[in-house]
Structure 1
Amino acid sequence: MTCLCFILAALSASPKCNCPVDSILQAILLGVIEGVTEFLPISSTGHLLIAQHWLERRSDLFNVAIQAGAILAVTLVYRLRLLDLATTWRDPGTRDYLAKLATAFGVTAVGGLIAKKLGAELPETVVPVAWALIVGAFVIFAVERWNRGRPIVEAVTWKVAVAVGVAQVVAAVFPGASRSAAAIFAALLMGLSCRPRAAEFAFMVGIPTMFAATSYELHKTLGNPAAVQAESWTELGIAFGVSAAVGFVTVKWLMKFISGHSFEPFAWYRLGLGTLLLVML
């Protein structure tokens, strides 16, 4: 993860280049960054905005769609779990879990639309992202300390579902907060103390959330001929594929990691990167 800091530091010393090959390489780099950071509690949107501070600025569709690429990786990692939910939907336990997923998604969708109507947009500078990274680091430290030593609880309750939905809206409004981090730590605070179980629920909710967000941005873009013409669809497709491939590896690694470790290493990373950005800018 820390290699991203060195990449960005190196990029800051060189001017932007708009040649086609360079633009494709940038799309690949953004796909890698997205695939790595989407599921780690360090903010994928924040990292994309940080990278695009020095690289070519991309459209909202690009930034959202490549996140959907990473989410596609979740559907592959959890394909057996999703198949089980689809084939056992008549089971009361399955229907209860699906209802809670739907509730979390519903809260996110309604809250996200309200935020859009109120004018929530991605920031033009990375300073807000830097502060969100730092604040988020202290939140992780605090939640991990609070969760330490508590009995392991794996049940997803209704208050967990609602809290995860609200947390995703907050993360969308404050890039740098991290959607996955906000959802996971909201679940932990609401009593779902098993980290892998909290991460699974957060990732499951992310599937309809990010696909819906991508559909929204795609619909908005297709309704604007100028935006359709301006969008680099080839580069978007490349970044989408790269983020999906890298995201698959990242999710597999993360689920093994948090089975025996806390999230505190990611908090230290956030604190270091946020501080570095404030010093550089």
Structure 2
Amino acid sequence: MNDLISAILLGIVEGITEFLPISSTGHLLIAERWLGARSDLFNVAIQAGAILAVTFIYWRTLWSMVQNWRRPETRDYVMKLAVAFLITAALGLVVTKLGFKLPETITPIAWALIAGGIWMIVAEKVAMNRPDQVAISWRVAILVGLAQIIAGIFPGTSRSASTIFVAMLAGTSNRAAATEFAFLVGIPTMYAATGYELLKTFKQGGAAGEDWTGLAVAFVVSTIVAFVAVKWLLGYIRSHKFTVFAVYRIVLGIALLLLLPAGG
């Protein structure tokens, strides 16, 4: 029962933090200090639950892309999504082959939260001084793909924060347009990551040791919570800046450094 409650709580943490620019991986690593460590498959799979929620939210947009594929502007947008995804996938495989591991201490996550919060404040101020631009350029697509890898290598950076603010700084100054592109790129990225982890788990014979019940419950919880969180965020950013999230990151990072000076 305790394992199930732990899985539910981790699903809630993931659902809230995956698309808010505060780092889901960082929060999960912190939460696992108290709720117990989980497998890489578990962590990736509940992230996929959050991605499923975004798929539901953007299903009209995705279907419109299929229906209007022949239109040049639609093909152009889809190709940019594909390029951003392929950059992430290719570099992600390289990082995996090199044996990259997530940090075992909280200290680097705390510093990433602080640095990311400061960067968000600066980046939004810079973007605000530029003309409102909703178009996605090839430069934006390439940099968003690279930003996803950076966020994966440095937990606490936040995939959503990295991609949204890279897009805003690279030319898409409109918050809503940058956020939508970042979220849509995340859909194939996280589904691919989940599929890769599933394949690796079965090939290595780890399926028998996986807590599939806990994983399934956490996946459902993450999906539901993420749906609510993203709906709220999309409404919030129409009339608010990201400053509150930046301040939260900085405060949390400082608190972690003070409470856990040894990074334990």
Q: Same fold (TM over 0.5)?
A: yes
RMSD over aligned Cα, in angstroms? 0.8
TM-score by length of 1: 0.91
Distance 1:98 1:121 in 2: 32
**Which of these residues, 81, 105, 110, is aligned with residue 130 of structure 1?**
110
User: Is this contact kept in 2: 1:42–1:176, CA < 8 A?
Assistant: yes
* SS in structure 2 of the partner of residue 156 of structure 1: coil
What is the DSSP-based 3-state SS (H/G/I as helix, E as strand, rest coil) of the residue aligned with 2:103?
Answer: coil
Deviation of the 1:122 alpha carbon: 1.3
Query: Does structure 1 conserve the Cα–Cα contact (< 8 Å) formed by 2:128 and 2:173?
Result: no
Q: CA separation in 2, counterparts of 1:118 and 1:93?
A: 38
CA distance in 2, matches of 1:142, 1:114: 31
Amino acid at match of 2:11: G
Distance 1:252 1:262 in 2: 16
Paired position in structure 2 for 1:190? 170
Matched with 2:63 is 83
The answer for the alignment partner of 2:223 in structure 1 is 244
Q: Displacement, 1:107?
A: 0.6
Q: Which amino acid aligns with 1:77?
A: I
1:27 aligns with 2:7: yes
Q: CA deviation at 1:93?
A: 0.8
* Counterpart selection for 1:71 from 37, 51, 57: 51
Match of 2:235 among 246, 253, 256: 256
- Among candidates 234, 240, 265, match of residue 213 of structure 2: 234
Distance 1:119 1:139 in 2: 28
Distance in 2, Cα, partners of 1:123 & 1:133? 14
Task: Please state how far the C-alpha of 1:90 moved relative to its aligned partner.
Answer: 1.0
Amino acid across the alignment from 2:188: P
Once residues 185 and 82 of structure 2 are traced to their aligned partners in structure 1, the CA distance between those partners, rounded to angstroms, is: 8
- Cα distance in 1 between the residues matched to 2:3 and 2:252: 25
Answer yes or no: is the 8 Å Cα contact 1:50–1:126 preserved in 2: yes
Q: Which residue of 2 aligns with 1:169?
A: 149
Structure-to-structure mapping, 1:190-209, within 5 angstroms: 190-209=170-189
Residues 14-44 of structure 1: CA deviation (Å, up to 9, x unaligned): xxxxxxx111011001101101000000000
Match of 1:160 among 140, 159, 172: 140
Question: Is the partner of 2:104 in helix, strand or coil?
Answer: coil
Measured against aligned partners, the alpha-carbon deviations of 1:180-238 in whole angstroms (never above 9, x if no partner) come to: 1100011001010010110000000000000000011111101122x212210010000
Q: Which residue of 1 aligns with 2:124?
A: 144
TM-aligned CA deviation for residue 126 of structure 1: 1.5
Runs (5+) with no aligned partner, structure 2: none
Preserved contact between residue 53 and residue 125 of structure 1 (Cα < 8 Å): no
Total equivalences in the alignment: 260
Distance 1:86 1:250 in 2: 27
Could you tell me how far 1:149 is from its partner in structure 2?
A: 3.1
Aligned residue for 1:57, secondary structure, equals coil
Could you say which residue in structure 2 is the equivalent of 1:57? 37
Secondary structure at 2:156's aligned position in 1? coil
Of 57, 67, 76, which aligns to 1:96?
A: 76
1:124 Cα deviation after fit: 1.2
The C-alpha deviation readout for 1:232-257, integer Å capped at 9, x for no partner, is 00100000000000111111110111
- Aligned 8 A contact 1:127 1:277 in 2: yes
Identity %: 56
TM-score for the superposition, normalised by structure 2 = 0.97
Per-residue deviation at 1:119? 1.8
1:11 corresponds to:
none
Q: Which amino acid aligns with 1:246?
A: V
Letter in 1 for 2:136: V
1:45 aligns with 2:25: yes
Q: d(CA) in 2 for partners of 1:89 and 1:100? A: 13
Gaps of 5+ in 1: 1-20
Partner SS state of residue 246, structure 2? helix
- Indicate the residue corresponding to 2:253 in structure 1: 274
Matches of 2:221 and 2:242, distance apart in 1: 25
